[in-house]
Structures are given as C-alpha cells and as structure tokens.
C-alpha cells in the first residue's frame, strides 16, 4: 500500500514539474489533459488517505458480529 501512495505522489510531482518547466511545447489540449490528469491523481490520493484510515480503524476494532 505504501508503494501505491508513493507512486501517486511521484506521478503528481513529475506532472507538476512538467507543467512548471515543460520539456517540450504542449498544445492547449495537452495542457488541459495534464491539468485533468493532475486533478484525477489528487482525487485518488485523497480517496486513498480517507479509505486507509477507515481500513485501519476497522482492522483495529474488535467485533463478535
């Protein structure tokens, strides 16, 4: 699980750096796509953080049911 989160963080950082200091000239459509991709990665990271807290809580909560 830690590898997944690190992969998300690495992809976010790489994409942010590419938008700040582009390695080539991008079309307007490519820039829009990159912004959407960044937003999707951020959403996945937020969902991951929320879900991992719930999973840990459930794993540590004892129930006979």
| pLDDT tens digit sequence for 25-60 | 999 999 999 999 999 999 999 988 888 878 777 777
Distance (Å, rounded) from C-alpha 64 to C-alpha 11?
Answer: 41
Distance (Å, rounded) from C-alpha 57 to C-alpha 39?
Answer: 27
Distance (Å, rounded) from C-alpha 13 to C-alpha 41?
Answer: 10
Q: What pTM was computed for the model? A: 0.72
């Amino acid at each position: 699980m830690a590898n997944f989160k690190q992969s998300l963080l690495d992809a976010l950082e790489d994409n942010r750096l590419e938008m700040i200091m582009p390695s080539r000239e991008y079309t307007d459509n490519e820039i829009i796509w990159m912004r959407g991709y960044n937003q999707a990665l951020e959403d996945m990271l937020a969902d991951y953080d929320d879900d991992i807290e719930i999973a840990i809580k459930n794993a540590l909560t004892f129930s006979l049911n």
